[in-house]
Each structure stands twice: as structure tokens, then as C-alpha cells.
Copies of this chain bind each other. A is one copy, B any other.
Amino acid sequence: MSQSSWLPISPSSHFSLANIPFGIISTSSGPTHRPAVAIGDHALDLRAFATADGFSANPSIQNHAGVFSSTTLNAFASLGRPFHREVRAYLQSIFAADTPHPSILKDNTSLRQSALLPLSEVTNHLPLSIGDYTDFYAGKHHAYNVGVLFRGPANALQPNYTHLPVAYHGRASSVVVSGTPIHRPWGQILPDPKAEPKIPALSRCKRLDIELELGMFVARENELGKPIPVDQAEDYIFGYVLLNDWSARDIQAWEYVPLGPFTAKNLGTSISPWVVLADALEGCKTAGIENETELLPYLKEKTRENLLSIDLEVDIITPKGNKTTFTKTNSRNLLWSWPQMIAHHTITGCNLRTGDLLGSGTISGAEPGSEGSMLEQTQGGKGTIKLEGGEERKFIEDGDTLVIRGRAGEEGALIGFGEVSGTIQAALPLF
């Protein structure tokens, strides 16, 4: 779709009329958190819009307009995909150049002034209250690359890897919105990993890294004990964000056997603020990494076009101001789809709830320059990443800002995520 809007929207905007992503905002004059959509370089304050009868031309939305006075998107998400679809289509019709309802916003100067806010004047917050966060490991190139570094090529991919979407439960409390600074963590590391016996030290993390991931928010709950069939799993998806799973590699290497990563990952996980609805990305499906393993029936999908195709890139901005895009890849580089992850997550009966966040796992391409972590790109710190201005990095240094961007679609009708950004600050003095 490349429909035009009466609102000027740059063709390069991530937030075209084809997108309509949802978030939670506040402003300096209105500190209460409230829902909004992003369009061009504006946010439409949905609380203000709903309160001024903006949804009056659609009674079925109007009946539920109370969800737009909530401080999170959970109530909206829980109403389900047909409702999300209807709201998105309605808002597209409101912003369309040939809107059938010009009196609602286009010709309503007062509501435009009160509800249509420059993005530069809004503060974003976590879009949903997150009950549980699960991080998958569906990026096969990443899993292989990291497996080689942690366990050698022979054991890089475990025997279960192609049979089930490997995952671990993550930490919901430390999921933060883009822009939140993260302090370099302290933690237990092995100063000399090869020495025997192994004697750890408490140290500032020396191998702090990013993980380029997509995040998915759950719309609906299932009952405890009742797995979600893979063919129904799409109904449980609210939408997607970019996700940076900050990872302390030296802490992770020491702690993760046998129960998985813990303090290496719970220091913070950053997400982009605007949730791109599942419906907005319906046209962006493609085939992912081929899985030659015969799957068990509960993981078999009817289509091979089961993955989102979103172009992704990562910038690093150093304290000297040098900005370098050091990774470009695409979200098709996954072995497992979101419906497969949902089906597996619930196969033993686990109940998902509205607002749960699932991470895809790190997305790396097969070629150099497409790796979703610095660990991979520097082969465990043996190499370096060459940056603009003659700088280089093995891992993140204090003051570095990492930015992930993602977009699908064509100029003029981009379905973009904006970005998730975070600056690593020096470690705080301990106690």
C-alpha cells in the first residue's frame, strides 16, 4: 500500500500510513502514560483522540475506547487481532488523503493541536506491562558461531537444535525502553579461563556485547495445561519490536553450565518503543533457514513462507562521535517461526499471558558483516571491528551507544520499527 495522507509524511519515514505502530507516551505537560500511534514525525495521542470522540465513526471500536485511557497497551492487546486490525484500518482511513471522515481530525484544528504531537516532544515508555519474558535461540548462524566459540565446532549445535526451538526464560523486570542507559555490570568472571583450578574474580564486565533480536508481544492468554496449536498461534501475536539482549560474555561463559545464562543477561534488555502490529507485517513473510530435520507434527506449518523479512542494521556511536554501521542482516535468518516458538513454548501446558515478551534469539546472517553480536564479528575477541575515524572495537566500551534499526516495505510505504538505542555507562562503584 502506498496510499497518501493529508498529513505530510516523508517517504523515508518508518511510520508510513501503511504502518500505524502502537506505543505508550507521555509529554512534559501530560505526564500520565497513555497509548498513541506513530505516523510520520507525529504521535497521535489515542487517549485524547478517543476522549474527543475520534472513534465515533466506528461503533465497535467506540465500545472499547476505554482501553485507550490505560497506561499500558495490555488492555488493547487483549482484545485480539481482529480488533487490532479494525483499529489500524480505521486510523489509516482517518489519515488518508481521501478520508471519509474529514471532520474527525483532518478538518478539526483543535483536536489536531491537542492530539497530534511532534514525536520530538513525546517521551516513550514500555509499551506493555511484561509478565514473563522468554528468549529463544532461533538464529541458527548465531547459535553455530557462538557454539564454536563456547564449545568448539564438534559440539557447536546440540542434537536438539533442529528438533525444537531452544529457549530460556529471561528476566522481565529489567526489560527497558529504548534510550535507557545501562551501566556496565560487575560480575563473576574467570580472569584466566584456561587455568586449573578455575578461580573467579569479581570484575567489571570486560566483554560486554549486544544481541540483535526481534521481540514479539503476546496478545491473548491460553489456559494453563492447554498447548496452542501451531496453526492457531498467529492469533496470539500482538506485534513486534526490536530487541537488544545486552550480554556479558565473560560472565556468561563462567555461569551458564548447567542451567543456562542468568546474571549475564538479567542486567537489562532494551526494546524499541513502537509495537508494529502483526497485521502490518502480514505482507512481509518469506522462507527462513531451511530445516532438513523432519519435524514433529506440533511444529509443522502449512507454509514455508513462515518468517518475517525485516532488514536490520546496527550502528555503534563512540564517545568521540564516530558512527559506524557494523552489521546488516535480515530477520529471515531464523530456523524457527514465531508460531513454532509459541507452539513449543506451550507444548507442556505453559500459559502465555497478554504482555508476555518473546525474543527471537540473535539474528546473524551467514556472511561476514551480518553477525548480530560483536562476539561473532570479532570471533570471540580475536579480531576487531574497524570503525569510522580509525577507531576499533572488540566489545562495547564505556560511552558507546548501540542502535538497532529495522524496516520492511518500500520507500513511501515503509513499515519500520524506528530504533532501539542504549548507551553503556561506566560501571558504578560497588557498594
A binding-site residues for B, Cβ under 8 Å: 131-132, 134, 137, 147, 150-151, 158-160, 163-164, 166-174, 176, 182-183, 185-188, 197-198, 200-202, 205, 224-227, 229, 248, 251, 254-264, 266-268, 296-298, 344-345, 347-353, 356, 428, 430-431
Contact = CB atoms under 8 A, between A and B. Distances in A.
A268 B168 contact: no
B167 A259 contact: yes
Contacts of A197: 159
Nearest to A182: B225
25 contacts: A131-B131, A150-B258, A159-B198, A160-B200, A164-B188, A164-B200, A167-B259, A167-B262, A169-B171, A169-B262, A173-B224, A173-B350, A173-B351, A173-B356, A182-B349, A186-B227, A202-B347, A224-B268, A225-B268, A226-B428, A257-B258, A263-B344, A263-B345, A263-B347, A267-B348
Contacts of A185: 347-349
Contact of A188 (B188, B347, B431): B347
A328 B252 CA distance: 36
B227 A350 contact: no
B202 A298 contact: yes
A139 to B, nearest CB: 13
B348 A187 contact: yes
Contacts of A248: 348
Nearest to A298: B202
Given A158-B258, A164-B188, A225-B183, A173 B348 contact: no
A166 B264 CA distance: 12
A218 to B, nearest CB: 10
Contacts of A173: 131-132, 224, 350-353, 356
Given A159-B198, A173-B350, 10 more contacts: A160-B254, A160-B255, A163-B188, A169-B171, A169-B266, A183-B225, A202-B297, A256-B260, A267-B348, A267-B350
A349 B151 contact: no
B350 A171 contact: yes
Given A226-B428, A259-B137, A266 B298 contact: no
A261 B263 contact: no
Contacts of A167: 259, 262
A428 B255 contact: no
Contacts of A183: 225, 349
B174 A350 contact: yes
B348 A166 contact: no
Contact of A261 (B182, B259, B351): B259
Nearest to A201: B296
A160 B350 contact: no
A226 B173 CA distance: 13
B200 A349 contact: no
B176 A259 contact: no
A353 B266 CA distance: 13
A174 B151 CA distance: 33
Given A163-B188, A188-B163, A260 B263 contact: no
B172 A131 contact: yes
Given A131-B173, A298-B430, A348-B267, A168 B262 contact: yes
